[in-house]
Amino acid sequence: MRECLSIHIGQAGVQIGGACWELYCLEHGIQPDGVVLDGGQDLLAPAKTEPTRASFDSFFCETRAGKYVPRALFMDLEPTVVDGVRAGSYRSLFHSEQLVSGKEDAANNYARGRYSVGPEILDLVLERIRKLAEHCSGLQGFLIFRSFGGGTGSGFTSLLLEQLSVEYSGKTKLDFSVYPAPRISTAVVEPYNSILTTHPTIEHVDCTFLVDNEAIYNICHGKLDLERPSYASINRLISQAASSITASLRFEGILNVDLIEFQTNLVPYPRIHFPVTSFAPILSADSTHHKEPSVSDITAACFEPSHQLVRCDPRLGKYVACCLLYRGDVVPKEVNAAIAATKLRNSIQFVDWCPTGFKVGINDRPPREVPGGDLAEVQRAVCMLSNSTAVAEAWARLGHKFDLMFAKRAFLHWYIREGMEEGEFAEAREDLAVLEKDYEEMGRSL
């Protein structure tokens, strides 16, 4: 019951997916070949807390052989990245049908991902998703991992999401998107791709968790002593956030939050569904046990912009809703005290009209870290999801870059050549302008 399918699209999606499933396996005690580590658990069988097996079900499918296979699909329009998974240390975890790759990539071009190269592989992908869905007794929804800036992540995803809405109407879709970093850019046309993909997908997605590479670079550099953060480090950090967000789906017991509850808490209007993610504590593995942050320490840290996974300043905006997801050794008394202290310390402004303020949940499973990773293993962690009007700042930045290029019609021919029209650009930009206005409207007092 309540299964979730994860779909990883494009290089970013696939690589983040690798990091996420590695972490989930560690948390559930599943080895790289899909078999559960049973050894130590027999010792404590009578005294164990509720069996964790039942909770695997939402993310892992148990085969008749007793192996656990992730309910996931990895796809990309070119083979290199997916081959990395096929040959990597977790290759025996996935069924070969879950790893889909094309031959020709989208070359950072939304139009190729959506109109020319993407449609050729769409049917195959949909069929594989159907197969995965058949193994679910009560599919709850989808988790999509992708980047805004790439061709596959932007173009193919918009195509896929439209189809999923038709075929699986009523199922929730959550989106983990890598937003183009403000100052570190891998492709000049990222603003185009980002805005072009946001326009069609905004109606088909229920909630989008944005992460941007620059914020994470800064975290890795500043807090984790990594002089040159690699994608591996960045993805591991993102996977920790994803793990916190999905923890309540994967572990039974204390907090039975399903995907719908996320939406209800955080999303006041269908289009205003871009919460800012923060994560704490972020400590270097070399300093394990040098500091043991308390509940109040990590709660306070969440409100610092340096712990956010997207660059923007919520202190300049207003909060619509805020979700604090604690995990590990956390006691309700301490949480209440920490939140009361936050109220005194931070000037948190809420919009007048929204009734919900903070929503707080606890999952008692401790946070885990991949051995050899950069983060220290700690006893407790918190992930904060806040829907704040400050996110409009991120959109405005993107819109500005888009405008600069579009005014000169720069790079447009790459898209037109694949069958797009200028009108689509204008329409997408218009939609974004409306979104920015919506945020502004929201923040205004009654």
Partner 1 sequence: MVFDIRSHILDSGYVIMNSTSTSDVIGRRVEVNGEHATVRFSGLVPPVAGLWLGVEWDNPERGKHDGSHEGTVYFKCRHPTAGSFIRPHKVNFGVDFLTAIKNRYVLEDEPKEEETEQIVIIGNKPVETIGFDSVIKQQSQLSKLQDVSLRNCAVNGAGDKGEIAKACPNIRSIDLSKNLLSSWEEVIDIADQLKHLEVLNLSENKLTSPSSSPSPTGTFPTLKVLVLNRTGVTWAEVLRCASGWPVLEKLYLESNNIIISERPTDVLQTVKLLDLSSNQLIDENQLFLIAYLPRLEQLILSDIGISSIHFPDAGIGCKTSMFPSLQYLVLNDNQIAQWSFMNELDKLQSLHALSCTRNPLTEGSKDAQTTRQFIIARIGQLRTLNKCAIEPEERRGAELDYRKAFGNEWKKAGGHQDPEKNRPNEEFLAAHPRYQALCLKYGAPEDGELKTQQPFLLKNQLLTLKIKYPNQHDQKVIEKQLPDSMTVQKVKGLLSRLLKVPVSELLLSYESPKMPGKEVELENDLQPLRFYSVENGDCLLVRW
Q: Which residues bind partner 1 (CB under 8 A)?
A: 43-44, 47-49, 224-228, 230, 232-233, 253-257, 286-290, 292, 294, 329, 331-333, 335-336, 339-340, 342-343, 348-350, 355-362, 364, 366, 374, 379-380
Q: How far is the CB of 51 from partner 1 (least distance, A)?
A: 12
Q: How far is the CB of 290 from partner 1 (least distance, A)?
A: 6
Q: How far is the CB of 77 from partner 1 (least distance, A)?
A: 25
DSSP state of 116: I
Residues 19-32: b if buried by 16+ CB within 10 A, e if exposed: bbbbbbbbbbbbee
CA-wise closest residue to 411 among 397, 398, 400, 425: 425
* Cα 387 to the center of its chain, rounded Å: 15
Tokens of 402: 């888009």
Q: Pick between residue 261 and residue 427 the one whose CB is nearest to partner 1.
A: 261
Task: Determine the Cα–Cα distance for residues 187 and 155; give it in Å rounded to an integer.
Answer: 15
Q: Pick between residue 141 and residue 229 the one whose CB is nearest to partner 1.
A: 229
Q: How far is the CB of 434 from partner 1 (least distance, A)?
A: 28
Q: Pick between residue 252 and residue 403 the one whose CB is nearest to partner 1.
A: 252
Q: How far is the CB of 319 from partner 1 (least distance, A)?
A: 8
The answer to whether residue 214 is catalytic is: no
* DSSP H helices in 168-230: 190-201, 213-223
Determine the 3-state secondary structure of 144 from DSSP.
Answer: strand
Q: Are 37 and 31 in contact (CB under 8 A)?
A: yes
Query: Which residue is catalytic, options 27, 252, 261, 334?
Result: 261
Task: Determine the Cα–Cα distance for residues 210 and 285; give it in Å rounded to an integer.
Answer: 26
The contacts of residue 20 (CB under 8 Å, 6+ apart) are 6, 145, 238, 239, 242, 243
Q: Pick between residue 350 and residue 414 the one whose CB is nearest to partner 1.
A: 350
Q: Are 107 and 154 in contact (CB under 8 A)?
A: no
Q: How far is the CB of 364 from partner 1 (least distance, A)?
A: 7
Backbone dihedral angles phi then psi of residue 120, each to the nearest 5 degrees: -65, -30
CA-wise closest residue to 136 among 253, 22, 58: 58
Using a 10 angstrom Cβ sphere, with 0-12 exposed, 13-18 middle and 19 or more buried, the burial of residue 43 is exposed
Using the structure block, give the residue that is written with the tokens 């805005």: 195
Q: In residues, how long is the chain?
A: 446
Task: Determine the Cα–Cα distance for residues 429 and 192; give it in Å rounded to an integer.
Answer: 9
Q: How far is the CB of 230 from partner 1 (least distance, A)?
A: 6
Q: Give catalytic residue positions.
A: 261
